[in-house]
Amino acid sequence: MSQPQSAAEAEMASLIVEALNLEGVEPTEIDPAAPLFGKGLGLDSIDALELALEISKRYGVQMKSDDENNREIFASLASLTAHVMATRPA
């Protein structure tokens, strides 16, 4: 692993593993900087939808499917966590 997960990233990693049926992946083993989609965990567009729903439930953050920044937001565990933490309601 290139860098350790922050507490927020660790929580997001568990959400990803549970929401996406990734049993067999240890949440703590997800590299915060590694790509989530395409390579890496090999997630697809249905996963993006499942993640967005779960994130809205857990954090009250509404993702947008036509957000031009989605590529960057969903790029890695680190970027996704940073986006959710920055936009979550107080």
Partner 1 sequence: MTVGDFFSLTRPSLFLVSGGHRWSVEEYLERAARVAAQLGASAAPVINLCEQRAAFLVAYMAALLSARTTLLPSSRAAEAVAAVAAEYPGSVVVDDALVAAATADRGSELSAAPLATEVNADFVAMIGFTSGSTGVPTRHAKRWGTVAASTVHNAAALRAAIPPELSGKQPWVVGTVPSQHMYGMELTVLLPLLDGMGIHAGRPLLPEEVAAALAEVPEPRVLVSTPAHLRAIVASGVVLPKTAVVACATAPLDAELAAQVEAATGGILVEMFGSTETCILAHRRTAQERWWTPYTGVELHPESEHTRVSAPWFLQDERLLDLVERDDRGRFSLLGRSADLVDVAGKRASLGDLNQRLLRIPGVVDGVIFQPQQSRGLVRRLAAMVVAPGLTTEQLREALAPAMDPVFLPRPLLLVPSLPRTAAGKLPRATLEEALADLLSAGAAKRGVADV
Cβ at position 56, least distance to partner 1 in Å: 8
**Residue 5 φ/ψ, nearest 5 degrees:** -75, 145
Q: What is the largest CA-CA distance in the chain?
A: 34
Candidates 2-10, 24-32, 73-81, 82-90; binding stretch for partner 1 (CB under 8 A): 24-32
3, 4, 62, 72: residue in contact with partner 1 (rule CB under 8 A):
62
- Decide: 79 and 9 in contact? Cβ < 8 Å: no
Q: Of 29 and 72, which has the nearer Cβ to partner 1?
A: 29
CA angle, residues 17, 21, 25, in degrees to nearest 5: 50
Binding residues for partner 1, rule: CB under 8 A, are 14, 18-25, 29, 38-39, 41-46, 49-50, 52-53, 56, 62-66
